[in-house]
Amino acid sequence: MLSPWLKLSSRVSGNGDYNSPFEAAHGKDVWAYASSNPGHNSLINGAMASHARIAMSAIVDRCPEAFEGVGCLVDVGGGDGTALRTLMKSCPSISHGINFDLPHVVSVAPEFDGVENVGGDMFEVVPKADAAFLMWVLHDWSDEECIVILRKCREAIPEGWGKVIIAEAVIGEKDEVDKYNDVRLALDMVMLAHTEKGKERSIEEWEYVVKSAGFSSFTVKHIHSSIVSVIQAYP
Ligand SMILES: C[S@@+](CC[C@H](N)C(=O)[O-])C[C@H]1O[C@@H](n2cnc3c(N)ncnc32)[C@H](O)[C@@H]1O
């Protein structure tokens, strides 16, 4: 995870040999590397699980309305299912959870009552549910890729009353006082080092991807105890 930082120049100079500093350091992208290295896969899923537990508790505490009326929820790019398990313990109305991620990730995810682990590719098809949840997934991808993922999520939810719930950072304006904005900007640097075209987004950039994916409206709620905000997008 550190060696891509020594290859940042490959992205800045854009010499075309590698798609990302991570690829320049390891010869493949971050997901392919995890798929072919079980030790790294377990390390990275464990790290994401630790932060998912904390972020999900803050979201349930500060934004419980996001999950009201949702009986079946698909967590797209849900990792080892920690976020979904944390959520379902606090929101018993969610009777069926689908933890959806790449096959090599869900194949080692723990079992949990009411949670189905489903392997697949979110660029192809997302399992159907009342609502789709994405936490720290879209920041790994370019605007064009986010629009594809969000369109797949839109196809997975009911047209009239479904929604997509996005838990991600929203980069503030320069003059906005926010004690976590520097952390969000540091995360933007992590995206630069580890992904091909990922980035943290401002509210205008979120509006662009959400609206371009065909959603008619959206709301944003900042979770002030965390760097995460909750964006709810409606068809
Ligand atoms: C930054 S992690 C976030 C994990 C989890 N949502 C969390 O907040 O802890 C991004 C997740 O997206 C998954 N992912 C990457 N490409 C995917 C794809 N094509 N289809 C489904 N999931 C994918 C990764 O395996 C990883 O678990």
CA pair distance 89, 180, nearest whole angstrom: 28
The question of whether 145 is a catalytic residue gets the answer: no
pLDDT tens, position by position, 63-92: 999 999 999 999 999 999 999 999 999 998
pLDDT tens, position by position, 90-128: 998 999 999 999 999 999 999 999 999 999 999 999 999
Q: What is the mean pLDDT of the chain?
A: 92
Tokens representing residue 223 in the block: 């979770």
Assigned fold of 52-234: Rossmann fold (3.40.50)
Write out the residue limits of the CATH 3.40.50.150 domain(s) in the chain: 52-234
Ligand 1 atom closest to 82 (CA):
9
Select the highest-mean-pLDDT range: 1-15, 38-52, 200-214, 215-229.
Answer: 200-214
Burial letters for 149-176: b for 16+ Cβ neighbours within 10 Å, e otherwise?
Answer: bbbbbbebbeeeebbbbbbbbbbbeeee
- Residue 176 is predicted with a pLDDT of 62
The question of whether 168 is a catalytic residue gets the answer: yes
CA of 101 to the centre of ligand 1 (A): 6
- Would you give the distance in Å from CA 197 to the centre of its chain? 14
CA of 159 to the centre of ligand 1 (A): 25
Quickly count helices (H) and strands (E) in the chain: 9, 9
